[in-house]
Amino acid sequence: MATLGVNIDHIANVRQARKTVEPDPVQFAFLAELGGADSITVHLREDRRHIQDRDVFLLKETIKTKLNLEMAATEEMLEIAKKILPDYVTLVPEKRKEVTTEGGLDLKSNVQYLKKAVGNLKDSNIEVSAFIDPLGEQINYSKEIGFDFIELHTGKYAELSGSEQHKELQRIIESTHLANDLGLVVNAGHGLNYNNVKKIASINNMNELNIGHSIVARALAIGLEKSVREMKSLITSN
Q: Which of 10, 50, 153, 190 is catalytic?
A: 190
Q: Which range of residues forms the domain containing residue 84?
A: 3-236
Give the pLDDT confidence score for residue 238 in this predicted structure: 67
> Is residue 208 annotated as a catalytic residue, yes or no?
no
Q: Is 183 exposed, middle or buried (0-12, 13-18, 19+ CB in 10 A)?
A: exposed
Q: Which of helix, strand or coil describes residue 202?
A: coil
Among candidate residues 17, 164, 155, the one with its CA nearest the CA of residue 92: 155
Evaluate whether 211 touches 189 at the Cβ level (below 8 Å).
yes
Listed as own residue / partner, the contacts of 96-103 with beta carbons closer than 8 Å and 24 or more positions apart are 96/46, 96/47, 100/190, 100/213, 101/43, 101/131, 101/190, 102/155, 103/133, 103/153, 103/155
Mean pLDDT of the chain: 95
Q: How confident is residue 100, by pLDDT bands cut at 50, 70 and 90? A: low
Catalytic entry in 10, 43, 50, 153: 43
237: pLDDT confidence band, cut at 50, 70 and 90? confident
Distance CA 199, CA 46 (A): 34
The pLDDT, as a whole number, for residue 96 is 60
pLDDT tens-digit series, residues 176-189: 999 999 999 999 99
Determine the pLDDT at residue 77: 98
What's the CA gap between 188 and 135, in Å, rounded? 13
pLDDT tens by residue, 118-173:
999 999 999 999 999 999 999 999 999 999 999 999 999 999 999 999 999 999 99
- The alpha-carbon radius of gyration of the chain (Å, integer) is 18
The domain that contains 200 carries what CATH number? 3.20.20.70
What pLDDT digit, counting tens, does each position of 174-231 carry? Answer: 999 999 999 999 999 999 999 999 999 999 999 999 999 999 999 999 998 888 898 8
Is residue 213 annotated as part of the catalytic site, yes or no? no
DSSP state of 108: G
Asked if 10 is an active-site residue, the reply is no
The number of distinct structural domains making up the chain is: 1
Q: What is the pLDDT of residues 61-98, one digit of tens each?
A: 999 999 999 999 999 999 999 999 999 999 999 866 65
pLDDT value at position 98?
Answer: 55
Set 70, 94, 151, 208: catalytic member: 70
